[in-house]
Homo-oligomer: A and B are copies of this chain.
Amino acid sequence: MSSSFVKSAERTLDVLHLLASRLRPVPASVVAQECGIPRSSTYHLLNVLHERGWVNHYEAEHAWGLGVTAFETGSAYLRSEPLQRAGRPLLAALTEHTGDTAHLAILEGTDVLYIDKEESRTAPRLVTEIGVRLPAHLTAVGRAILSRLSPAQVRALYARPVLVRRTGRGPRNVHELLGELAAVATRGYAVEEGTTTVGICCIAAPVIGHDGLPAASVGITFVAAQRQGDQRDDAAVKVVETANRLAGALGPRRLTG
């Protein structure tokens, strides 16, 4: 929480951010100006970054750009499974508060992949396991993610406009799916009842990365008959909150970008 202050560290990150935001390498003078760093300090800093491969120095064009080390470090991000890690305690809390099994899922192609779950104590073994893949359009978690893509993106995703069904319910084609997604988008969360498994209901909300794209979604699953009307609304609020909290945990603490 406490806003610490470490000048050179901040400058380091500022420089990297600047270089990342320009698609072409920039001269040192621009770095100094844009980041508000004195000339000589800028060179001190660039040299350190250069030494370690975080920036490249293109002597011919007197310009500085990002280096491989930045790339390598960035690639390591995914290996730490940040979604699962940040999500796990939040899923646990969600299950705690609703009593239901909670899921974390991501989109892969037109499927959702369940990447984490917290079991309900009262009604275990409902549907999915970690690692399971289901058609996105049939699941609440899937629709929650799709609802934050543009219709054009959704259409591009579905090469064939006819959609599979499992229970005789659910959208038959991309057009129907888009209708449903629009409703999800305005409502803020997705509800699915009986399109995955008869008698089972899911509520899910998207986790929006600070780039504006849906990175994942959080959902809960319960026996449809056991939860109606207001009870579902209350649960939905908690699901949305959890999704937003997860989004918050993943982005930067402050809003500069």
Contacts and interface: CB of A to CB of B under 8 A. Distances in A.
A60 interface: yes
5 contacts: A12-B12, A23-B80, A25-B80, A53-B250, A69-B252
A21 to B, nearest CB: 7
Q: Give the interface SS of chain A, mostly helix, strand, loop or mixed.
A: helix
Interface residues of A, number: 68
Interface of A: 2-13, 16-17, 19-21, 23-25, 41, 43-45, 47-54, 56, 58-61, 65-80, 82, 85-86, 88-89, 209-211, 249-254, 256
Contacts of A88: 60
Contact of A72 (B5, B56, B74, B76): B74
Contacts of A80: 19, 23-25, 56, 65-66
Given A44-B4, A253-B51, A56 B82 contact: yes
Given A4-B47, A53-B251, A67 B71 contact: no
A20 B72 contact: yes
A57 B63 CA distance: 34
Contacts of A41: 6
Q: List the number of copies, as a whole number.
A: 2
Given A56-B250, A85-B25, A253-B50, A68 B79 contact: no
A74 B59 CA distance: 22
A254 B51 contact: yes
A97 to B, nearest CB: 16
Contacts of A20: 72-73, 76-77
Contacts of A51: 3-4, 252-254
A-B pairs, top 10 by smallest CB distance, nearest first, are A74-B74, A53-B252, A8-B8, A4-B47, A20-B76, A71-B77, A60-B89, A65-B80, A4-B44, A20-B73
A86 B68 CA distance: 12
Contacts of A85: 25, 56, 58, 61, 65
A24 B78 CA distance: 10
Contacts of A70: 73-74, 76-77
A183 to B, nearest CB: 30
Q: Which of A13, A44, A80, A253 has the largest count of B CB atoms less than 10 A from its CB?
A: A80
A85 to B, nearest CB: 5
B74 A71 contact: yes
